[in-house]
Structure 1
Amino acid sequence: MEAPSEAQISRRTGGWITFPFIIVGLTLAFGGLTSNLIVYLIKEFDVESIDAAQITNLVNGGGSLTPVVAAIVADSFLGCFSIIWISSIISLLGAILLALTTTVDSLRPTPCEVGSTSCTPKPKIQYVVLYAAIVLVTLGNASLRSTLATMGANQFDKPKDQGVFFNWFFFLPFWFYYYNVSWKAGYIICVAANVVGAAIFLLGTRFYNNSKPEGSPFTSLARVVVASIRKRKLPLPSTSEDFYHGLMLVEPSKTYRFLNRAAIKSAGDVKPDGSTAKSWRLCSVQEIEDFKTLIKILPLWSSSFFLGTTIGVQGSLSILQALAMDRHIGPNFQIPAGSMLVFVMLSTALFLALFDKFLFPTWKNLSGKSLTPLQRIGVGHVLSFLCMGVSAIVESKRLNVAKSNQGSIIVPMSALWLVPQLALVGIAEAFHLPGQVSLYYQEFPITLKNLATTMISVLVGIAFYLTTALIDVVRRTTTWLPGNINNGRLDKVYGVLVVGGVLNFGYYVICAWFYKYKNMKEVVDHSDSPSHE
């Protein structure tokens, strides 16, 4: 990936000098707290496999929606820096509680074989502490990651540098997610990693470019809706002098013209000093244009709901597949089932590096154009439904082996067969995740930058809840997902997702075709000869 220049490093605040404190702190703080949650629930708390997958999806969904609240609080009251250290404390408390469930006798579950009918019921206090720990870790990590993304991007002035930062932001944390140690040692390492990560972040305090809270952007968005409704009967003026411009002279666009009524000046709306007298009756043209920007990008954003759903299904159900397969590599080593997802992370990390170093520069040399965020997202869509196709084929083979070995819980088929589909998920994420973050951050107005970085989190959160709903519908209407997936038809679930992915890609293409970049020069990284997609 592109290295920072000396001029960038020499800045007194902000710039690349902040990079190691933000990224290293991030990497350690996210040290695998919930990466093996689904296996922990099944193995240690005897939760039924599909139920454990559903709980994990709900946790991931909640963790992805939390950043919206964090962004509102950061913008309105505390700022990014305060949210980050508060979130670090919350995450640390959760990590400590998780560690206690593996070390304190009254909180540590008694070992019980999966599927056994003679297991001793676990005390309720164990589940209370477990779920409290999961909630704290989820809230802390989710708020921390999203706010760090915004704060990190705010350290740079150029969109190109911000793009490089986002690539590293997705790349570096992946290497520290999984441990091949006992539950006790693993969660104690997580506690230590949280402490060290927070300390490293705080060491960089004097270098950070901290922006002060300027109020929640959601308030101005709501004001546009209210003001346009209240003035819906007013005729639209023909000249811009009749519109309220505030501090910035911006011409109202002709799209969604009904919203322009929110900026029409009427008696008593404006004070003698030029400020608004009734903020919920009059908005500036700039506020209206900001709201229009959000409306224009929503169809593109919604097209990724199903994209995230396929990734959610893949992530949870692949672990269940791995639990029912031979995970040995040699006679003395067995891959932890939850750690199979490390192939997704490694694939994403590897291809992010390859893209930044080779693919994107080569593409620009051959075509004369930079690969735009919309193109990156589109490739991610295609790879996603191709991944579901590979998953269906592999699962069909696994089920055939299971039928030939009826009565065996562990199918004599290597779990490494899952690597190609997991690698495809990682490559898809390497295309579409940075592409979406860059698109939202570049296209959104300055007042909505924190909202821009949470758009992807909300998308992923909704996708995980859709994943939960989809699995629930499949369980209620078919026999494809029983407690023992060897008796089910997971291959048909993947097949349905292939069809859904193709249809969703068609919807995305339509949305992308009609979308017009607002900041095209930024999208092409300030190329000498900007081009249009």
Structure 2
Amino acid sequence: MSARRVNGGWITFPFITGTVALVALAGNGWTANLMVYLIEEFNMKSIAAAQIWTAFSGSSSLLPILGAIVADSYAGCFTVIAASTLISLLGLILITVTAILNKLRPQQCNSNFCPNSSGSQLAVLYTGLAMAALGSAGTRFTSLTIGANQFDKPEDRSRFFNWCFVAQYVASVIGATVMVYIQDNVSWGLGFGLCAGANAIGLLIFLLGKRLYRPEDGPRGSPYGDLARVVVAAVKKRNIRLTLNNEDYYYGHHGQVTETAGPTSKKKFRFLNRAALKTEGDIRQDGSVAKPWRLCTMQQVEDFKTLLRIFPLWSSGILLSTTIVTQGSLVILQALAMDRHLGPHFKIPAGSMWVLSMISLSISLTLSDRVFSPIWRKAVNRSFTVLQWIGVGHILNTLSLVVASVVEAKRLGATHHHQKLSSLLLFPQLILVGVGLSLHHPGQAAFFYQEFPLSLRSTATAMASVTIGIGYYLSTLFLDLFRRVTEWLPNNINDGRADNVYWTLVAVGMLNFVYYLICAGCYKYQIRNSEGIGGANGNSASNK
């Protein structure tokens, strides 16, 4: 019993967060410089390399949902994280081997000829990239779930999310700078090898903490099948009249709900209540369900309703992610057209400009937990709710787009007078992006974990990543639309009007924020004490 009492809690934090940080360092260490590696070592055209990089970046944000589904349905978080970290390690080893063995790369280009990669060379490369991306995706957000599962109090879970994101983004900065520097200036093999080493240490740290983690429930089958049965059963019984008698509804084999994520609300989405309405032949004599696709428990119906209520808030993150990703692409183009020198000998790489946002994010998360949240609680005796934190993040990211449009207009004016402005002018907008991300990114993770049905906790923490992945693809469509419909984004950014693109994104951000306010204003928390990030003594369920 004494051993059981020490399981979970902050003692598990170094093991879980250490794994998250090292996997993030390894992941950013190879993805940040992937485009350069493909161009320089595999003789790919820049457009082809950019397409491969975009595909892997978008997919790495969408793939975590697969790991979450497996964790929720069959294997549990621990098994998924351990297996995924091992898969990413094997992928990184393959990538390292392609950098070390000359036979796995095409010959260097010369003045007359630039040989293409062979099919076998590309097969090894793509296998390594796919395994590294899949493994990293399966670890990143499932680790948040197993970490949050170690705590009982919402304020402890919020602090965990905060500090876990701090560790993740600090490690990402190291990966995108130190590892990239080693790859560019020492050797690709050493740079990728160090990434593989970081991944291996992360796996070891996670396994060492196994005895301290809280035991997980055994596999309960796919909760997604239960959700599908709710829709099918409700449709099958669409012509049956609903009643107000609780005894007419099925609450499980023992006649009561054994697990609940929130209060029952039969009045909302009443059509779905038919899925739990008992009719002749639905139940066997022993009380079990005879026709699973015709009768569900009331808890399963309520879980489905919970997802319907959360979906509008989740969808508001898609356009937010799209504006952030689009701004990230344009910042690189702006930086390439500006003076990036810091002193006579150092020149900021254009691709590293976005690192400033990650640094800003890490500092903001630290100050939020240690400074701003305590001051706010003492001043008003209450905490921000997670939805309020997310809303402030929306505002700051829209403000960053306003700053970006003003800076770009100034840059274009200077360019027309044959002047080159310093890339330091891009810093304010990047800092604002980082501060905004520090609020809505961990806020979304905390909100989804708190509000999702208990059977979908791993899926909950992966949902924010899905919006980022969709944002990557929508950003590509946005930029392509601007190129086709307007003359704002020609091949030479100096001949265009990227400031108008930014102003369009400002309008998109403002409309999306209004949509978010409507969704947040209508939402009712599923549990009481819905604390904000780093906050105790949060608002009650009735507060919005």
Decide: shared fold, TM above 0.5: yes
Q: In the aligned structure 2, how far is the partner of 1:9 from the partner of 1:316?
A: 51
Change in CA separation of 1:53 and 1:516 when aligned onto 2, cut-off 3 Å: farther
Task: Select which of 44, 69, 72 maps to 2:69.
Answer: 72
- Structure 1 residue matching 2:397: 3-state secondary structure: helix
Check whether the contact 2:108–2:114 (CA below 8 A) recurs between aligned residues: no
Letter in 2 for 1:457: S
Letter in 2 for 1:336: P
Task: Select which of 459, 462, 469 maps to 1:451.
Answer: 459
Letter in 1 for 2:214: N
- Structure 2 residue matching 1:376: 3-state secondary structure: helix
- Structure 1 residue matching 2:290: 3-state secondary structure: coil
Task: Select which of 237, 241, 248 maps to 1:235.
Answer: 241
Q: Deviations over 1:173-197 (max 9, x none)?
A: 2222222323413322211111111
2:374 corresponds to: 361
Q: In the aligned structure 1, how far is the partner of 2:325 from the partner of 2:247?
A: 51
Alignment size in residue pairs: 518
Q: Deviations over 1:282-328 (max 9, x none)?
A: 01111111111110111111111110101111223323333443333
1:5 corresponds to: none
Q: In the aligned structure 2, how far is the partner of 1:327 from the partner of 1:283?
A: 62
Q: Which stretch shifts more, 45-54 or 506-515? A: 45-54
Q: In the aligned structure 2, how far is the partner of 1:324 from the partner of 1:38?
A: 20
Q: In the aligned structure 2, how far is the partner of 1:450 from the partner of 1:108?
A: 39
Tell me if 1:495 matches 2:492.
Answer: no
Q: How does 1:254-273 map to 2 (within 5 A)?
A: 254-273=267-286
Q: How does 1:109-258 map to 2 (within 5 A)?
A: 120-125=114-119, 127-177=122-172, 178=176, 179=178, 180-183=181-184, 184=188, 185-211=190-216, 212-246=218-252, 247=254, 248-249=256-257, 253-258=266-271
The structural deviation recorded for 1:123 is: 2.0
Q: In the aligned structure 1, how far is the partner of 2:497 from the partner of 2:397?
A: 20
Q: In the aligned structure 2, how far is the partner of 1:16 from the partner of 1:510?
A: 37
The structural deviation recorded for 1:120 is: 1.7
Check whether the contact 2:145–2:457 (CA below 8 A) recurs between aligned residues: yes
The structural deviation recorded for 1:436 is: 1.0
Letter in 1 for 2:245: T
Change in CA separation of 1:202 and 1:470 when aligned onto 2, cut-off 3 Å: same
The structural deviation recorded for 1:29 is: 1.8
Q: In the aligned structure 1, how far is the partner of 2:76 from the partner of 2:359?
A: 33
The structural deviation recorded for 1:68 is: 1.6
- Structure 2 residue matching 1:181: 3-state secondary structure: helix
Q: Which stretch shifts more, 261-270 or 329-338? A: 329-338
The structural deviation recorded for 1:491 is: 2.3
Check whether the contact 2:106–2:115 (CA below 8 A) recurs between aligned residues: no
The structural deviation recorded for 1:449 is: 1.2
Change in CA separation of 1:252 and 1:509 when aligned onto 2, cut-off 3 Å: closer
Unmatched tracts of structure 2, length 5 or more: 258-262
Q: Deviations over 1:392-444 (max 9, x none)?
A: 22223333444444xxxxx8433322221111111010110111111111112
Q: Which stretch shifts more, 329-338 or 224-233? A: 329-338
Task: Select which of 94, 97, 100 maps to 2:91.
Answer: 94
2:10 corresponds to: 16
The structural deviation recorded for 1:130 is: 4.1
Q: Which stretch shifts more, 488-497 or 143-152? A: 488-497
The structural deviation recorded for 1:369 is: 2.1
Q: In the aligned structure 2, how far is the partner of 1:487 from the partner of 1:107?
A: 41
The structural deviation recorded for 1:335 is: 2.8
Tell me if 1:36 matches 2:37.
Answer: no
Q: In the aligned structure 2, how far is the partner of 1:294 from the partner of 1:82?
A: 26
Q: How does 1:300-311 map to 2 (within 5 A)?
A: 300-311=313-324
- Structure 1 residue matching 2:214: 3-state secondary structure: coil
Q: Deviations over 1:454-473 (max 9, x none)?
A: 21122211111111211222
Q: In the aligned structure 2, how far is the partner of 1:40 from the partner of 1:479?
A: 32
Q: Which stretch shifts more, 28-37 or 123-132? A: 123-132
Q: Which stretch shifts more, 317-326 or 290-299? A: 317-326
- Structure 1 residue matching 2:32: 3-state secondary structure: coil
Check whether the contact 2:530–2:538 (CA below 8 A) recurs between aligned residues: no
Letter in 2 for 1:16: W
Q: In the aligned structure 2, how far is the partner of 1:421 from the partner of 1:109?
A: 41
Check whether the contact 2:383–2:538 (CA below 8 A) recurs between aligned residues: no
2:432 corresponds to: 424
Check whether the contact 1:50–1:483 (CA below 8 A) recurs between aligned residues: no
Check whether the contact 1:244–1:265 (CA below 8 A) recurs between aligned residues: yes
The structural deviation recorded for 1:9 is: 12
Check whether the contact 1:25–1:197 (CA below 8 A) recurs between aligned residues: yes
Q: In the aligned structure 1, how far is the partner of 2:38 from the partner of 2:499?
A: 24
Letter in 2 for 1:201: F
- Structure 2 residue matching 1:30: 3-state secondary structure: helix
2:260 corresponds to: none
Check whether the contact 1:23–1:172 (CA below 8 A) recurs between aligned residues: yes
- Structure 1 residue matching 2:435: 3-state secondary structure: helix
Task: Select which of 269, 277, 281 maps to 2:294.
Answer: 281
Q: In the aligned structure 1, how far is the partner of 2:128 from the partner of 2:338?
A: 30
Q: In the aligned structure 2, how far is the partner of 1:351 from the partner of 1:509?
A: 23
The structural deviation recorded for 1:343 is: 0.8
1:408 corresponds to: none
Change in CA separation of 1:131 and 1:176 when aligned onto 2, cut-off 3 Å: same
Q: Which stretch shifts more, 24-33 or 306-315? A: 24-33
Check whether the contact 1:44–1:112 (CA below 8 A) recurs between aligned residues: no
Letter in 1 for 2:16: I
Q: In the aligned structure 1, how far is the partner of 2:62 from the partner of 2:249?
A: 36
Change in CA separation of 1:252 and 1:11 when aligned onto 2, cut-off 3 Å: same
Q: How does 1:285-296 map to 2 (within 5 A)?
A: 285-296=298-309
Change in CA separation of 1:221 and 1:215 when aligned onto 2, cut-off 3 Å: same
2:21 corresponds to: 27
The structural deviation recorded for 1:12 is: 2.9
Tell me if 1:482 matches 2:490.
Answer: yes
Q: How does 1:343-492 map to 2 (within 5 A)?
A: 343-405=356-418, 412-492=420-500
Q: In the aligned structure 1, how far is the partner of 2:264 from the partner of 2:302?
A: 9
The structural deviation recorded for 1:372 is: 0.7
How high is the TM-score relative to the length of structure 2? 0.88
Q: Which stretch shifts more, 65-74 or 469-478? A: 469-478
Letter in 2 for 1:480: W
Q: In the aligned structure 1, how far is the partner of 2:6 from the partner of 2:196?
A: 33
Q: Deviations over 1:84-109 (max 9, x none)?
A: 12211221233223334433334456
How high is the TM-score relative to the length of structure 1? 0.90
Q: In the aligned structure 2, how far is the partner of 1:322 from the partner of 1:121?
A: 32
Letter in 1 for 2:410: K
Q: In the aligned structure 1, how far is the partner of 2:226 from the partner of 2:113?
A: 56
Check whether the contact 1:377–1:436 (CA below 8 A) recurs between aligned residues: yes
Check whether the contact 1:313–1:467 (CA below 8 A) recurs between aligned residues: yes
